[in-house]
Structure 1
Amino acid sequence: MMDKTTMTKEILIAKEDKGLSWEAIAQAIGMSPEWTTSACLGMNSMPADKAAALCKCLDLSGDVAAALEKFPLKTWEQAVPTDPLVYRIYEIVGVYGTTIKELIHEKFGDGIMSAIDFTMDIQKKEDPKGDRVVITLDGKFLPYKSW
């Protein structure tokens, strides 16, 4: 059975070969670009129907679909903070960091988001199912320079 690392490599090759954006792939399977990218990078599992649709869109094998359906092992190598709130923010970056990076590069090019020319906004959004935390990170895009 194919592992998540091999699955991701095959998806990225097919995405590039077809010249498709994450937005276009997500639209083809009826999901958000953020979630679709995260699943393709191995950090979420896909339901069978979405995995099949993605493989059809990218002309990939059933082995890729099976790997997309597998539950991921969400681990990374850094020391983990112990404060529960800080840990959850750390978990978000650990799980979705590569997704954020991939989508920023696709939309802006090769570069980074500044943490110097940067603002953050935290809001409370009332919800009958439980209040929500809304965090907005707003950083200037800094392209890498060539010389």
Structure 2
Amino acid sequence: MTRAILDAKKAKGLRWDQIAGEIGMAPVWTATACLGEASATEEIAQKITAVLDLGDDVADALQECPLKGQWMDKTIPSDPLLYRFYEILSVFGPGVKQCIHEEFGDGIMSAIDFTIDVEREQHPKGDRVKIVMNGKFLPYVRW
């Protein structure tokens, strides 16, 4: 599925934001689903395959509930961009955790009720990558 989608995307010269605009979804979610890390509804799967001129086999695969995170294979990512997220988590994670606990209490940020957006921010020293994560706070239950 993923190979077929990536090949069609490349052949058509499309970007994720273009595909997302055609199907009415966010670019990061669209890429995530097409890479096999999220499941699509039948309607969304049909829209993706229509944009990319792919068949029902790909639409069916897009609707499967995936086993998420397998690409990491329980190791530190070697790709430089993905490694930076690991580095950010390693360095700033405990501080972010403390700030979340101070603001909300003992709990976590949902990765299920969650959005993430990638934006370009103009800067005199070179354009910046702006990543905005927005997740529902889920308090731990005490019993």
TM-score normalised by structure 1 residue count: 0.53
2:62 is paired with a residue of what secondary structure?
helix
| Offset, 1:15 | 0.2
Query: Structure 1 residue 25 and structure 2 residue 19: aligned?
Result: yes
CA–CA distance in 1 between the matches of 2:42 and 2:74?
A: 32
Greater relative contact order (CA < 8 Å, ≥ 6 in sequence): 1
Aligned to 2:73: 77
Aligned 1:103-118 pairs, distance under 5 A: 113=84
Paired letter, 2:8 = A
Paired letter, 1:30 = G
| Offset, 1:77 | 2.1
Aligned to 1:67: 61
What are the Cα deviations for residues 123-147 of structure 1, in whole angstroms up to 9, with x where unaligned?
Answer: 64x79xx9858xxxxxx78xxxxxx
What are the Cα deviations for residues 80-137 of structure 1, in whole angstroms up to 9, with x where unaligned?
Answer: xxxxxxxxxx9xx9xxxx9x86xxxxxxxxxx85959xx958464x79xx9858xxxx
CA–CA distance in 2 between the matches of 1:50 and 1:78?
A: 30
CA–CA distance in 2 between the matches of 1:69 and 1:21?
A: 21
| Offset, 1:73 | 1.2
TM-score normalised by structure 2 residue count: 0.54
Measured on the aligned residues, the alpha-carbon RMSD in Å equals 3.6
CA–CA distance in 1 between the matches of 2:10 and 2:109?
A: 36
What are the Cα deviations for residues 1-48 of structure 1, in whole angstroms up to 9, with x where unaligned?
Answer: xxxxxx000000000000000000011111111111011000111000
Query: Structure 1 residue 45 and structure 2 residue 45: aligned?
Result: no
Aligned 1:83-102 pairs, distance under 5 A: none
Aligned residue pairs, count:
98
1:64 is paired with a residue of what secondary structure?
helix
Paired letter, 1:56 = A
Paired letter, 1:46 = A
Aligned to 2:49: 55
CA–CA distance in 2 between the matches of 1:132 and 1:15?
A: 32
